[in-house]
Structure 1
Amino acid sequence: MITKLIVLHKLRSIASIFVVFTTVHAVGRMPATAADRVFLRTPSGLGESRVVGNVEEFTGDQLVLRHPSGRQQTFKSDRVLRVESDRSAPHQLARASFHRHRYQESLEEYSKALRIEKRKWVQRQQLAKITWCYRNLGQFEQASASFLALYRSDTTTQHFSAIPLVWGGRPPDVAVERRAATLLADAKQPAGQLIGASWLLTTAKRPEALQMLRSLTNATDARIIFLAEAQTWRTQLATLTDADVIRMQTRVEAMPQAIRGGPYFLLGTAQALRGQPARAALAFLRIPINFPEDRTLAAQALLATGSELETINRPGEARGLYREIIVDYADTPMAATAQGRFAARSPSNADNATSDKNSSDKRNTEKKKH
């Protein structure tokens, strides 16, 4: 299973290169048409159909389409596979930069696109991408503001996975801690309270953060309930039993697919701590495969996967993942650690270590003779 996931991850990486190529070459030559193209899953779930018209609204709950005849039709959002629609030049440039991981450039272009875009449903898509740009640039305060603007516009949003929560890493700096405390105190924004509690969990305000996370299990949004519960696991990892870890996995698999990224990281961490390296590697690998937008978490997960693969004596595959971090995640803090591990485990170092051991054994033998 681990080998299959590694192969799948490599195929996804190749596919992402193709997406970059096609996106870059499409910039500036999008045909100007008045109609949107909506691709729907057929009732059988085995195929797709297409309808054409003007998308008037698209939320996490439904898509509203106005046909050329003037007739209005509504579709459940879970039937919508994709929507092809005209985008402004800044939007197209932003998308190309995003796929190239040039987040500052992408942020600037998406911000331009947002200012000129009139369609609310497209604005929400842009806000989601802006949030991911801020997250991948490490700008928490701005990420929280853009996400909450998105959530206020559509509480059923399909982009809830963009919520900037903490799943590992260092405590926040003073400015971020101050902003998190403000969010924690705002009872009108449960999504903001979840963000604030997440960032305060490693600070002196941990008791208040934990209390808030427990109270959010009564929220009206099931995604907030699931993620609030998962955030509490961060304080329990060292004391979990095997039975606890099994229950944790059951809870993760009960969550909506889109929000499982961070919880999978905690599950993998718990399994690693319980001496279950193969299971931990599987949990970690799901993150870069299924949740690549969160580059920092994906790089952390690949690094953790490498450690677990080494534990089960699969050093070659571990080195392959370290190499991938060095090349594809050079913009993340994990690249330096991966570089050190890759160099330390190179065949030449292994040969040198073997040679040193043989020389040492030979010297010891000579000493015994004398």
Structure 2
Amino acid sequence: MSLFEAVLSTSEMRGVFSDRSVVDAMLRFEAALARAQARLGLIPSSAAASIAGSCKVELFDVAKIVRDSGRAGSIADPLVHSLKEAVGLFNADAVPFVHFGCGAQELVDSAMALLSREAVALVDADLAQAVQALLAQAQRNATTPMLARPAGQPGPVTSFGLVCVEWAAPLVRRRVRLAEAARRALQVQLGDGAGMADRMQGQGAAVRRQLSEALGLRDPGADWRTERDDWIALGCELGLMVGCLGRVANDIALLGRSEIGELAEAGDAGRGERPASVVALAAAQRAPQRVAALLASMPQARAPGSWQAELAEWPQLLMSAHGSARALAGALPGLQVDAARMLANIDRLRTQLPPGSAEPGLDPAQAEAAGVQALAQVLVLQSASEPFDPSDAAG
């Protein structure tokens, strides 16, 4: 990852998709696979013990596995090769049972589901903070009069509280949809077609169920290598969320312009003169291309390179999503609201009207009605979403 990409993400999300973390997730899958097969009598228990005991990331040269993946076209082959070498040092008889009855895509897809579960939980936590900060601002400023600015131009008087509610409502909807999409998409990958029936002696579905329970991922009931709609739908939900956060950031940037001066982000020595909203705006410009790349891979799910292209885009999308959510989660609680400037902008617009002309919608008293509406909506939004629970993914 370049320095410029790191600026737009978070250390936590970079950690989730670090080389070491990816290898560790793949080893967790291999250990769970061996244990499940041993319980069903498909491989010897002693082999499963040796395999699971060797699936410790600290035993592996992660950098070498990554280097070798370039020649192999997938990280699965060099990892399995390294795992066989590690197992062979202690139990040569167990080597034939490493990665038994499993394909490269099944290994990598399942590992990516494990990592994405962690990633979505990070995104949801910061998204929840952003929502709560907006609802708190809505309550504090329920009747604070300000000009609505449709299309960036001064409009009728509303309240800043109602504006905050209008920012928060799409984010609440996105939290709900993101959790729903994650519960469908975060699933174990293990085929059960004719080839699997031969390799697994007809117990492929049973192995998959046990893998699902062990890894905390949903059992899809079938192979989803070429049926990636639920997986891509999760990516689309992330893109929508980033777009909604970008809309909030764009409005904050507009209201913070010197000629308007109604909002200001709290100072942060770590950011210098670059406000947090800039990160959210940058993410909103990058995410659509990531989502488009995921969608483009769907019609050619079995074509060479399509799966690899999808995998390369996935972490980048989640990094943009978390960078955006984290930026606003940090900025919104300390958002500085200049109520006097809001009122002054209303008065200035009124004075600019030609003498004798009507002043539709420019009465600050209108903010009272908008405030009542805002407070009613706050109560609805506060009870509208549940946090994403990673343990629900298997449900």
Please state which band the TM-score falls in when normalised by the shorter chain. Answer: under 0.3
TM-score (norm. length: structure 2):
0.24
Q: TM-score, normalised by structure 1?
A: 0.25
Larger Rg belongs to: 2
Query: Larger % of strand: which?
Result: 1
